[in-house]
């Protein structure tokens, strides 16, 4: 069967099923593993952008570089980890100009230095096809601050940062991953589950809910909309790179108050809660079973 | 200027020149950096293979996967590090069959498990061009066992493992990186400088020599030739993935004897020595100035 008939999720799922049962900890957004003799966990993430798939040939290459780096860093925000080192692989057609590559690299470097990430190496290759930029980042997270998608509890409040929808109009090339916000959250609050929103709330929320083996209830009217976005955009557009997290309701008031002081320009919105599936009469949540009330 | 008019080395050099002066240790073959609170150093390497550049569309995909993994692992051998975790990025055209991808993955997994490396994550993307397989590996090396290209001393013997030349006839798809040999060397001997031979002795040896700020003298007649290979093949073919290392001459006899016992099937050959450039009347070594006696 050709790949065009199989979705990316299905391909990943089939490959992961074949992985040998691992002794290592593995997160959903990043790999989170033990490093010999270290107190902190080692966090690893790779991501790539492909010309004509993730960006147009005419897109400003500095913004392409920025996005290529920030996509991986957003996954560090998802698990509350600190990124430190990046390796960059550039697969480039001979027809690209050196000034295109220099601008691309400037974007990669600007994005890395925004979070004090050192670019420590990489690789370049020719190709007869479109450009591919792959970025691998490593860093650390304290054992007691690593957050996965799996820890959500019945009754937890669901929060999102920022505003959702319409990212493809410009934000997706200029976004700043919520690393500072994520680190602040785990320093000060008992966050049960967290992820970053890359495929849109409608695809990502069910992943967190399923990983936590729960159901959810969302107030669509409460969704924080980006300027010009409608509710459907907030659910389906994707590439928001905001945080979605679950936190016990007893933390709600302290969180909302402290957030406004710490991040006055960034909205924080309670959009619903995690619930035991039986409490609203649904079958166990499964893929494709998206239920927004 | 288009990239086709600029060499890959020149591109990397120009990008690296722009890197901010780093507080980190950076190796030549791998990035070697400190990890918070750990006694060992963190070692990072990424490498990629591109369809129609590094392999043919008709090449057995299991061998493509093997090679994609082993190229990165060979750089761990170069610095005497232990690889532990791999992330795999697959950029695949929709026309590839799922069985092609499964075979590719089988090759990646077989190669990883040969050195007990855990595949802990990755990413897939569509493309409108040729397939790209990028592999990022992390691992560790003890501070007192990390070897770079830089430590060669005047008078050191130069050794290579295995046989050189003719790799493109088959070996380049089936090679086994010299990790065990490299770890054994640094456990038992004072290796001054080391690297893996990926671009051919004629290109790689001057890199080690230059990094060590020395000259060299090679006995061409002593080069260990792969079956069917001539001296020119051993110098220029590339993709040997053997070790080249410099070790003090007082260690020679003990090394040769212990090697034959430990690795009876793998030749170890002294091919020449590192010398102060003035000792054979050459100008300081520079790129393009390859002198094989």
Q: What is the pLDDT of residues B82-107, one digit of tens each?
A: 999 999 999 999 989 999 999 999 99
Backbone region of residue A151 per phi and psi (left: phi > 0; alpha: psi in -120 to 50; beta: other values): alpha
A-chain CB neighbours of B16 within 8 Å are none
Average pLDDT over every residue of B14-41: 70
* Beta bridge pairs of residue B105: none
- Is B212 domain-assigned? yes
SS3 category, A202: helix
Round to whole Å and give the CA distance between B63 and B55: 10
Structural domain range at position B107: 18-141
Q: Is there a single domain that holds both residue A16 and residue A129?
A: yes
Do A274 and A176 share a structural domain? Answer: yes
Q: The domain that contains A201 carries what CATH number?
A: 3.90.650.10
CB contact under 8 A, A48 and B19: no
Contact list in B for residue A132 (CB cut-off 8 A) is 91, 125, 127, 132, 134
Comparing A16 with A57, which gets the higher pLDDT?
Answer: A57
Q: In terms of domains, do B122 and B177 share one?
A: no
Flag if A42 and B138 touch (Cβ within 8 Å): yes
- Taking CB atoms and an 8 Å limit, are A129 and B125 in contact across chains? no
| Together in a domain, A276 and A211 | yes
Distance from the Cα of A260 to chain B's closest Cα (Å) equals 32
- Determine, yes or no, domain membership for B285: no
Instruction: Decide: B197 and B160 in contact? Cβ < 8 Å.
Output: yes
The yes-or-no verdict on residue B7 having pLDDT over 60 is yes
Please report the pLDDT score of residue A282 as a whole number.
Answer: 42
> Does one domain contain both B272 and B174?
yes
Is the four-CA dihedral A93, A97, A98, A101 of positive or negative sign? negative
Residue A224 CB-density burial (10 A; 0-12 exposed, 13-18 middle, 19+ buried): middle
Clarify whether residues A94 and A164 are in a common domain. no
Whether B134 and B168 map to the same domain: the answer is no
Measured between CA atoms, the residue of chain B closest to residue A95 is: B2
Flag whether A56 is in a domain: yes
CATH of the domain at A105: 3.30.1330.10
Of all residues in chain B, the one with the smallest CA distance to A46 is: B122
- With beta carbons less than 8 A apart as the criterion, state whether B16 and A132 touch: no
Confidence at residue A113, expressed as pLDDT on a 0 to 100 scale: 97
Instruction: Compute the average pLDDT of residues B261-287.
Output: 76
pLDDT at B194: 97
Q: Is residue B168 part of a domain?
A: yes
B31 touches B16 (CB < 8 A): no
Domain boundary among A112, A141, A170: A141
Q: Determine what percent of chain B is predicted with pLDDT higher than 70.
A: 85
Number of domains present in the structure of chain A: 2
Residue B152 lies in a domain: no
* Confidence class for position B289, pLDDT limits 50, 70, 90: very low
* A172 and A267 part of one domain: yes
What is the number of other CB atoms lying within 10 angstroms of the CB of residue A174?
A: 11
State whether B163 and B271 are in the same domain: yes
Q: Distance (Å, rounded) from C-alpha B74 to C-alpha B229?
A: 22
Three-state DSSP at A99 gives helix
Q: How far is A77 from chain B (nearest CA, A)?
A: 17
Is B267 found in the same domain as B162? yes
Q: How far is B96 from chain A (nearest CA, A)?
A: 6
Summarised one tens digit per residue, pLDDT across range A230-252 is 999 999 999 999 999 999 999 99
Is residue B10 in some structural domain? no
Whether B20 sits inside 8 A of A113 (CB atoms) is yes
pLDDT at A257 over 70: yes
Among candidate residues B141, B166, B198, the one where a domain is terminated: B141
Say how far apart CA B22 and CA B19 lie, in whole Å. 8
Q: Is the Cβ–Cβ distance between B216 and B158 less than 8 Å? A: yes
Is the same domain home to B175 and B202?
A: yes
Taking an 8 Å cut-off on Cβ atoms, the answer to whether B136 and A18 are in contact is no
Q: B259 vs chain A: nearest CA distance in angstroms? A: 29
pLDDT at B16: 53
A87 chain-B contacts, CB cut-off 8 A: 31, 44-46, 136
Asked whether residue A27 falls in the same domain as residue A119, the answer is yes
* pLDDT over threshold 50, residue B68: yes
Q: How do residues B134-172 score in pLDDT, each as one tens digit?
A: 999 999 999 999 999 999 999 999 999 999 999 888 888
Q: Is residue B291 part of a domain?
A: no
**pLDDT reported for residue A8:** 60
Helix (H) or strand (E) holding A34: strand A31-34
Q: How many CB atoms lie within 10 A of CB A252?
A: 14
Last residue of a domain, one of A141, A167, A198: A141
CA dihedral for B93, B97, B101, B107, sign (positive or negative): negative
**Cα separations in angstroms, A39 against A142, A188, B40:** 7, 21, 12
Mean model confidence pLDDT for chain B: 88
User: B228 by DSSP, 3-state: which?
Assistant: coil
Name every chain A residue with its beta carbon within 8 A of the beta carbon of B37. Answer: 38-40
């Amino acid at each position: 069967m050709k790949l065009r008939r199989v979705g990316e999720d299905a391909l990943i799922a089939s490959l992961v099923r074949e992985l040998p049962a691992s002794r290592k900890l593995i997160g959903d957004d990043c790999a989170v593993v033990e490093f010999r003799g270290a107190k902190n966990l080692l966090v690893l993430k790779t991501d790539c952008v492909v010309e004509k798939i993730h960006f147009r040939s005419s897109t400003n290459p500095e913004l392409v570089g920025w996005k290529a780096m920030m996509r991986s860093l957003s996954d560090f925000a998802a698990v509350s980890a600190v990124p430190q080192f990046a390796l960059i692989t550039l697969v480039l057609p001979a027809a690209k100009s050196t000034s295109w590559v220099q601008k691309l690299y400037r974007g990669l470097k600007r994005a890395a230095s925004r979070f004090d990430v050192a670019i420590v190496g990489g690789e370049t290759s020719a190709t007869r096809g479109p450009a591919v930029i792959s970025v691998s980042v490593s860093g650390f997270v304290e054992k007691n601050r690593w957050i996965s998608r799996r820890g959500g509890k019945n009754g937890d409040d669901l929060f999102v940062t920022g505003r959702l929808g319409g990212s493809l109009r410009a934000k997706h090339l200029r976004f700043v991953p919520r690393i500072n916000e994520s680190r602040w959250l785990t320093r000060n609050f008992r966050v049960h589950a967290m992820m970053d929103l890359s495929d849109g709330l409608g695809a990502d929320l069910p992943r967190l809910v399923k990983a936590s083996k729960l159901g959810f209830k969302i107030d669509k009217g409460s969704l924080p909309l980006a300027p010009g976005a409608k509710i459907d955009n907030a659910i389906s557009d994707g590439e928001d790179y905001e945080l979605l997290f679950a936190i016990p309701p007893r933390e709600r008031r302290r969180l909302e108050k402290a957030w406004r002081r710490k991040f006055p320009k960034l909205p924080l919105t309670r959009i619903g809660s995690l619930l035991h599936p039986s409490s609203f009469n649904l079958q166990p949540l499964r893929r494709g079973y998206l239920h927004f009330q």
